[in-house]
């Protein structure tokens, strides 16, 4: 009887531990990274692997700091709130550091800068922000593209989407007249969809820095990311990753390798 009771208690204990995430897979310092699956060249999934400039840079930072990462796909509109509530430890998807977003999360040191591209189809009368009035323009909800459109073309009809793929599909089908994407993303869409006759009619460079998002007050994690970022800039890894994913974009001086 005692052995039976002991066995039963042991089984219950193992069940509870499993339900609570006990064991090697759940533990030991694995950081959950919220990212996107369709936003080339910054954050996307290819052959089942999360990649892109932001994610590969974060992988290099993690390797430098002996951190283990698990990437999970989500929508940009909910990413920062998911970091704030602890569902994700890190947000990685070309997140521009704005004052409004700093109310929700903390950020790492800057690792790139925001550039936008106005994209349309051949034959549509859009050339720049001054020609967006009255046009149906797609943006991903909650992004800098969204806020930029509101501020710079207030008479355009903003059509908000949960992610890039939906906005791109609407642009290709003619459901919208144009869209605002990250510049490199817009150029990639034009190159990869020749039948749709897409074109980037204007690039807009900003001084808004990108950063990896962490939960407010998580200074330990932010510090590790910053230390790793400093190291991968200094040893030239940043430039190698940038060349792989954004070969046509200039390299800001602060991200160039330091001479040893």
Q: Check which CATH number belongs to the domain holding 238 and give it.
A: 3.40.190.10
Q: Are residues 215 and 157 in the same domain?
A: no
Point out the least confidently predicted range of 24-28, 35-39, 119-123, 241-245. Answer: 24-28
What is the mean pLDDT of the segment spanning 183-211?
92
Task: Determine which helix (DSSP H) or strand (DSSP E) holds 233, and give its type and residue range.
Answer: helix 219-234
Within-domain flag for 6: no
What is the mean pLDDT of the segment spanning 195-221?
95
User: Mean pLDDT in the chain?
Assistant: 89
pLDDT at res. 259: 52
pLDDT at res. 12: 38
- pLDDT, tens digit (0-9, with 9 covering 90-100), for 139-150: 999 899 999 999
- pLDDT, tens digit (0-9, with 9 covering 90-100), for 73-103: 999 999 999 999 999 999 999 999 999 999 9
For residue 211, the 8-state DSSP code is -
CB-based burial of residue 63 (10 Å sphere; 0-12 exposed, 13-18 middle, 19+ buried)? middle
pLDDT at res. 114: 86
Checking if the pLDDT of 25 tops 80, the result is no
Cα four-point dihedral sign 256, 109, 34, 250: negative
Q: Are residues 61 and 139 in the same domain?
A: no
pLDDT at res. 125: 97
Q: Containing domain of residue 75, as a range?
A: 23-111+211-255
CB-based burial of residue 98 (10 Å sphere; 0-12 exposed, 13-18 middle, 19+ buried)? middle
Q: Which residues neighbour 121 within 8 Å (Cβ) at sequence distance 6 or greater? A: 171, 172, 174, 196, 197, 198, 199
pLDDT at res. 206: 84
Within-domain flag for 184: yes
Within-domain flag for 260: no
Secondary structure class of 162 (helix, strand, coil): coil
Within-domain flag for 227: yes
**Tokens at residue 54, please?**
């932001």
Q: Let me know: does 203 contact 128? Beta carbons within 8 Å.
A: no
Share of the chain above pLDDT 70, in %: 88
State the pLDDT confidence band at 15, using cuts at 50, 70 and 90.
very low
Q: Are residues 162 and 93 in the same domain?
A: no
């Amino acid at each position: 009887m005692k052995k039976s009771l002991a066995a039963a208690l042991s089984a219950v204990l193992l069940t509870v531990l499993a339900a609570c995430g006990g064991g090697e897979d759940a533990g030991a310092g694995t950081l959950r990274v919220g990212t996107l699956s369709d936003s080339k060249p910054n954050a996307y999934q290819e052959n089942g692997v999360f990649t892109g400039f932001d994610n590969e840079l974060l992988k290099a930072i993690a390797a430098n700091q002996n951190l283990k990462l698990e990437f999970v796909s989500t929508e940009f509109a909910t990413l920062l709130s998911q970091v704030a509530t602890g569902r994700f430890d890190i947000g990685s998807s070309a997140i521009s550091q704005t004052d409004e977003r700093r109310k929700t999360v903390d950020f790492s040191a800057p690792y790139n800068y925001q550039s936008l591209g106005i994209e349309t189809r051949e034959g549509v009368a859009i050339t720049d922000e001054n020609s967006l009035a009255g046009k149906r323009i797609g943006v991903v909800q909650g992004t800098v593209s969204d806020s930029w459109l509101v501020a710079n073309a207030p008479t355009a009809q903003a059509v908000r989407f949960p992610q890039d793929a939906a906005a791109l599909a609407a642009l290709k089908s003619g459901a919208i007249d144009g869209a605002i994407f990250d510049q490199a993303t817009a150029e990639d869409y034009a190159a990869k969809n020749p039948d749709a006759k897409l074109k980037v009619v204007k690039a807009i460079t900003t001084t808004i820095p990108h950063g990896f998002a962490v939960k407010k007050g998580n200074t330990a994690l932010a510090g590790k990311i910053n230390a790793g970022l400093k190291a991968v800039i200094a040893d030239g890894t940043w430039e190698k990753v940038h060349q792989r994913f954004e070969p046509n974009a200039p390299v800001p001086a602060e991200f160039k390798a330091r001479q040893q």
